[in-house]
């Protein structure tokens, strides 16, 4: 007679939800709140955890930022509404050392960093994940819009069902080991309206809360002001030069510019618009040129995280899709491993405004699968 195998619950465990502990990373926003409420309603042993990532007193005045004082309060109210445990953990030092300091140094080095990726990689999916294990949780769930699917060789990372909300670009550095422990209950939803409808259904106080639009520690979008506060003297003036090195104007600090920028250069009387092509922080120069100079074919990468089934080094070349901007669809490219966590991507059609410090994320051309990615840098 066939054996009766235990039925897996919705999180993939062969036991009742009540015996399955799940830590939910709660930012105080509607997405993670819905995840916690959904799992609580399904009978799971939910433990909500909210991270205090920077000074609580200062955060209270930062309207619209995630993980601020208001958001901690909102997360606590959701936990009270649904009746599950909630904890606030002080990760301020970890966040400063792992995310904010690198953000400042990257800008000083002429790069355009993406701190949300580092926060996921180093704080949420490393330190908080270990805390979840310490709490004897079976898994950790987040409100990210991305899908985790079981494949022939283990769990796979896939783009969200809603391409508008897809956050795969910001989660490329998730490792296979982390993916085995993580769950993303919202990834299959058709759109954000479906999430808000669930929040209404659960009676959550954050159902109408606006989405955060800024980096949590730069809530007004003024990166330069934050850098100057963190690194006094960072806004040293210098020259705006053309690609031949001729001075065209003066600037008030390289940190005020990003590759691809057109507005705010303060250069008049030209026959064609100029764009920031390169930043040279050592010479305190902003190099500008025509739009055609922004075209990039070859992209050097480091800190490669590979999520494919076969080892990255098992081929000399991989034909896949890549994103060099979170808002752009994947483009066809050739990935060439170089060893020691390095690789080079050849774009089959050039991209404009590719900048060191940003991510290049890999996708399977024939499916929604995310194959990892790496960090763009200046070269070998």
Task: Just list the catalytic residues.
Answer: 119, 216
98 Cβ partners below 8 Å, 6+ apart? 118, 119, 122, 123
Task: Using alpha carbons, select from 375, 310, 321 the residue that is nearest to residue 348.
Answer: 321
Q: How far apart are CA 159 and CA 148, in angstroms?
A: 9
Give CA 300 to chain center in angstroms: 20
Q: What's the order of all strands across the beta sheet hosting 285-289?
A: 247-251, 238-241, 285-289, 275-280
Task: Using alpha carbons, select from 319, 326, 324, 325 the residue that is nearest to residue 366.
Answer: 319
Burial readout 125-162 (b: 16 or more C-beta within 10 A, e: otherwise): bbbbbebbeeeebbbbbbbbbbbbeeeeeebbbbbbbb
Q: Yes or no: say if 141 and 40 are a contact pair by the CB < 8 Å rule.
A: no
Q: Yes or no: say if 86 and 75 are a contact pair by the CB < 8 Å rule.
A: yes
Give CA 186 to chain center in angstroms: 16
Q: How does DSSP assign 42-95, residue by residue?
A: TT-EEEEEEEE-S-HHHHTT-TT-TTSHHHHHHHHHHHHHHT-EEEEEE-HHHH
Cα 57-59-62 angle, rounded to 5 deg: 135
* End-to-end Cα separation, the chain, in angstroms: 62
Residue 134 φ/ψ, nearest 5 degrees:
-60, -30
- Give the bridge partners for 301, in sequence order: 343, 376
């Amino acid at each position: 007679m066939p054996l009766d195998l235990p039925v897996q619950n919705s999180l993939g465990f062969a036991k009742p939800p009540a015996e399955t502990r799940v830590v939910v990373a709660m930012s105080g926003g509607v997405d993670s709140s819905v995840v916690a409420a959904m799992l609580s309603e399904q009978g799971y042993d939910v433990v909500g955890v909210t991270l205090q990532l920077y000074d609580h007193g200062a955060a209270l005045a930062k309207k619209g930022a995630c993980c601020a004082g208001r958001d901690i309060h909102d997360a606590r109210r959701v936990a009270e509404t649904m009746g599950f445990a909630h904890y606030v953990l002080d990760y301020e030092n970890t966040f400063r050392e792992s995310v904010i300091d690198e953000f400042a140094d990257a800008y000083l080095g002429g790069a355009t960093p993406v701190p949300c990726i580092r926060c996921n990689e180093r704080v949420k999916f490393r330190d908080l994940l270990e805390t979840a294990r310490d709490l004897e949780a079976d898994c950790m769930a987040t409100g990210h819009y991305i899908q985790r699917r079981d494949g022939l060789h283990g769990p796979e990372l896939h783009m969200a069902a809603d391409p508008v909300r897809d956050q795969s670009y910001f989660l490329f550095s998730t490792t296979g080991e982390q993916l085995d422990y993580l769950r993303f209950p919202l990834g299959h939803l058709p759109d954000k309206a479906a999430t808000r409808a669930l929040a209404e259904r659960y009676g959550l106080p954050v159902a109408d809360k606006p989405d955060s639009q800024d980096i949590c520690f730069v809530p007004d979008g003024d990166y330069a002001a934050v850098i100057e506060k963190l690194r006094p003297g960072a806004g040293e003036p210098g020259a705006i030069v053309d690609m031949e090195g001729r001075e065209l104007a003066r600037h008030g600090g390289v940190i005020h510019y990003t590759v691809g920028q057109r507005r705010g250069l303060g250069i008049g009387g030209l026959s064609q618009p100029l764009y920031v092509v390169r930043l040279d922080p050592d010479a305190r120069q902003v190099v500008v040129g025509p739009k055609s100079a922004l075209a990039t074919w070859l992209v050097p990468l480091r800190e490669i995280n590979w999520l494919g089934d076969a080892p990255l080094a098992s081929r000399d070349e991989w034909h896949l899709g890549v994103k060099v901007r979170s808002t752009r669809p994947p483009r066809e490219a050739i990935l060439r491993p170089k060893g020691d966590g390095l690789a080079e991507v050849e774009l089959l059609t050039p991209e404009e405004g590719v900048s060191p410090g940003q991510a290049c994320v890999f996708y399977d051309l024939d499916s929604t699968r995310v194959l990892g990615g790496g960090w763009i840098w200046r070269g070998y």
